[in-house]
Amino acid sequence: MSELTPAQEKAAGRPPLGLYVHVPFCASTCDFCAFYQVSPTAKAVAGFLDGVAAEAGLPAWTRPVTTVFWGGGTPGLLAPRDLRKLGEIVRERLGGAPVEWTVELAPSSVTGARLAVLRELGVTRGSIGVQSLQPALLAALGRRHTRPQALNAYERARAAGFPSVNLDLIFAVPGQDEAAWQADLREAVALGPDHISTYCLTFEEDTALWVKLARGQVKRDVEAEARFYELTSAELAAAGYAQYEISNFARPGHACQHNVNTWRMHEWIGLGPGAASQHDGWRGANIADLEKWRAQADNGARMTEQRVRLTPALLAEDALIFGLRMNEGVNLPALRARWPDAPWTIAEALVERLVAGGLADFAGGTLRLTSRGRLLADAVGAEILEKLSEPAPA
């Protein structure tokens, strides 16, 4: 392990290293959600904590961790003593205070005692899954919390003194019109969070909402999604939140560094069932099953699913796809210097097509999506994937 702190590593120009911990517990399953999670029984939580301790001993911790992200599931649902245990397991591996440490919280389980432990551990960022502040929409999403609980969770997070607080909101919910979305955005802004994530509702396979969609009980409206998206950018920009990624807006200095570093294709170590990692030449995920994951970790195995060796072509392709989702865009000479062996001739032809089609601007070596390109970011990503995955001409 290096002698430098994460901040010194950053100053020395060493690439950042993230640590993601998947905490797979929720009080109930929301109608839209496909993240791996189970009920937080005492036995399951104890097994999880033992499994994380075992798994944390497996990867090579070659440099200090720059950013930590506890996601889920609902990490903030753990009892204060379990938050402390998890924090202690994690802190042993950090090599100094990270520059950012995020924990996801659900409004129905935010308490002063839990937040106090998180602050003591050094958590810097609370991310609250508000989704909506309108009772009818919370019901349409199958959320457990109420509007007063969401408002109360925000006030408690502020009172606990997190340097950064994020609110997650969802749009294009069945039954939501533009006025309702505007009301949610304006109420969220009035609270004064440092960061707002706005996600377009995705109908994930095998969720309750997906079943309703399949039965024709609810409908997806792609044109309305685009209108909601445009309204989001306009409302949040006017309120001083700069868009830095398709779904993410922040006040100056509050962009989520952990996510930005993953989108820039740096390395991160993932711990917990279902957690993905990109580290030490490999990308892969842990098995999304608490007991199987635990047994594997005890036997010294991790990242057993979708395991692929990292190649310059794969990293350059993903740096383009995810980098273009960020407003800063991608600097092509810098990417080329990082991965000189990627198929750059094909990439350059693609860049020309994106610019000619009005989907991107290219200036000073940096390629950025236009507002039209951002609306079509998923299609742009699919095209990059298709073209760069083609075998290069002999």
CA distance 124 to 73: 19
Q: Is 24 in the site for ligand SF4 (CB under 6 A)?
A: no
Beta strands in the chain (DSSP E): 17-23, 67-72, 100-105, 125-131, 164-171, 195-200, 242-245, 248-250, 267-271, 276-279, 282-285, 305-309, 330-331, 360-363, 366-369
CA distance 320 to 131: 29
Instruction: Give DSSP secondary structure letters for 298-340.
Output: HTT----EEEEE--HHHHHHHHHHHHHTBTT-EEHHHHHHH-T
| Residues 335 and 266: beta-carbon distance below 8 Å | no
Of the residues 23, 30, 236, 342, which one makes contact with ligand SF4 according to CB under 6 A: 30
Minimum CB separation from ligand SAM for residue 203, in Å? 7
Of the residues 6, 16, 18, 71, which one makes contact with ligand SAM according to CB under 6 A: 71
Q: Which is nearer to ligand SAM, 20 or 344 (CB)?
A: 20
Of the residues 170, 185, 351, 360, which one makes contact with ligand SAM according to CB under 6 A: 170
Q: Which is nearer to ligand SF4, 129 or 274 (CB)?
A: 129
Containing 47, the helix (H) or strand (E) segment is helix 42-56
The site string for ligand SF4 over 103-142 (x = CB under 6 A, - otherwise) reads ---x----------------------x-------------
Q: Is 198 in the site for ligand SF4 (CB under 6 A)?
A: no
* Sole residue written with tokens 């170590």: 269
Which does residue 170 touch among ligand SAM, ligand SF4, none (CB within 5 to 8 A, set by kind)? ligand SAM
Which does residue 29 touch among ligand SAM, ligand SF4, none (CB within 5 to 8 A, set by kind)? ligand SF4
Residue 366's beta-bridge partner residues? Answer: 331, 363
Torsion of CA 244, 247, 250, 253, to 10 degrees: -50
Stretch that binds ligand SAM, among 32-40, 84-92, 351-359, 380-388 (CB under 6 A): 32-40
Stretch that binds ligand SAM, among 4-12, 29-37, 112-120, 268-276 (CB under 6 A): 29-37
CA distance 152 to 291: 35
Residues that bind ligand SF4 (CB under 6 A): 26, 29-30, 33, 35, 37, 72-74, 106, 129
Residues that bind ligand SAM (CB under 6 A): 32-33, 35, 71-72, 74, 104, 106, 129, 131, 168, 170, 199, 201-202, 204
